[in-house]
Structure 1
Amino acid sequence: MLYVYVGLAGAVGALARYGLGLLVDSFGTSPFPVATLLINLIGSFLLGWMTHRFLQTGKFSPQLVTIVGTGMIGSFTTFSTFSVETIQLVENGYVLLAISYVFLSITFGLSSSWLGYRIGTKATRGEVE
């Protein structure tokens, strides 16, 4: 049954990614993939926060964390789109944008995960609510 819940949560995450992508893209077009970067940074933060906050407090089962983390957040974020967009930038002659995209994605993705983890740690200790 866990597989069904992960799949349903995955559908929610994919729809959220699609909707946020449309929203961000409605502000204008650019060769730089702003929507995917933003989505991946949000997902990195949420996964960092959620996995530490939920697992350490013991208030949520590991199954629920799997459903939300793997299903919803896993389908919300997307490494494959990041990879394809990077290749497309290079193929279209935007090499500097591609390098910037990779640098920003890795640097800020890891930073977002770390920040989420730290906030989750502080919340677990009762320092932040």
Structure 2
Amino acid sequence: MKDFIMIAIGAVFGANARYWIGSWAAQKFGIGFPFGTLLINFSGSLLLGFFITIATERFSLDPQWRLLISVGFFGAYTTFSTFTLDSIQLLIKGQWFYGLFNLFGSTMLGVLAAGVGIWLAKNV
């Protein structure tokens, strides 16, 4: 139950940060291009990579804090950060096929799934 609570607390802050940054970017740059999403995905990937490296390689951070921040906050802020971290970790381990498959497979399947979802919503 403690894990669930830690994740939930982090998720509240991550979801709100996503909303605030997305709203700010829309006001600042307009809505012609999803700059907010781009900024969120970039910053989430950068910060999650930084946090996980610091938490696991430089400090022995309590797993509860990792749940709060990496799963809770960044999971709600952007799942893209998890996707990119998983992919780069595979590439660093020399698992090129799996790393590239995750990068391109997730991207292609995501685009395909979004298209199918749109088609279904319009035709069902």
Interval of TM-score (by shorter of Structure 1 and Structure 2): 0.5 to 0.7
Is contact 2:15–2:77 with CA below 8 Å preserved after alignment? Answer: yes
Residue type of the alignment partner of 2:23: L
Distance in 2 (alpha carbons) for counterparts of 1:57 and 1:78: 24
- Residue equivalent to 1:54: 55
Residue type of the alignment partner of 1:6: I
Is contact 1:13–1:76 with CA below 8 Å preserved after alignment? Answer: yes
Aligned residues: 86
Which secondary structure does the structure 2 equivalent of 1:30 belong to?
coil
Residue type of the alignment partner of 1:62: P
Q: How does 1:1-129 map to 2 (within 5 A)?
A: 1-79=2-80
- Residue equivalent to 2:94: none
Distance in 2 (alpha carbons) for counterparts of 1:45 and 1:69: 12
| TM-score relative to the length of structure 1 | 0.58
Is contact 1:55–1:65 with CA below 8 Å preserved after alignment? Answer: no
Is contact 1:55–1:62 with CA below 8 Å preserved after alignment? Answer: no
| TM-score relative to the length of structure 2 | 0.60
**CA 1:70/1:41 → structure 2, altered by over 3 Å: closer, same or farther?**
same
- Greater per-residue helix proportion: 2
C-alpha RMSD of the superposition: 2.5
Q: Percent identity?
A: 31
Gaps of 5+ in 1: 92-129
Q: Which has the higher contact order (CA 8 A, sep 6+)?
A: 1
Distance in 1 (alpha carbons) for counterparts of 2:54 and 2:33: 33
Residue type of the alignment partner of 2:50: W
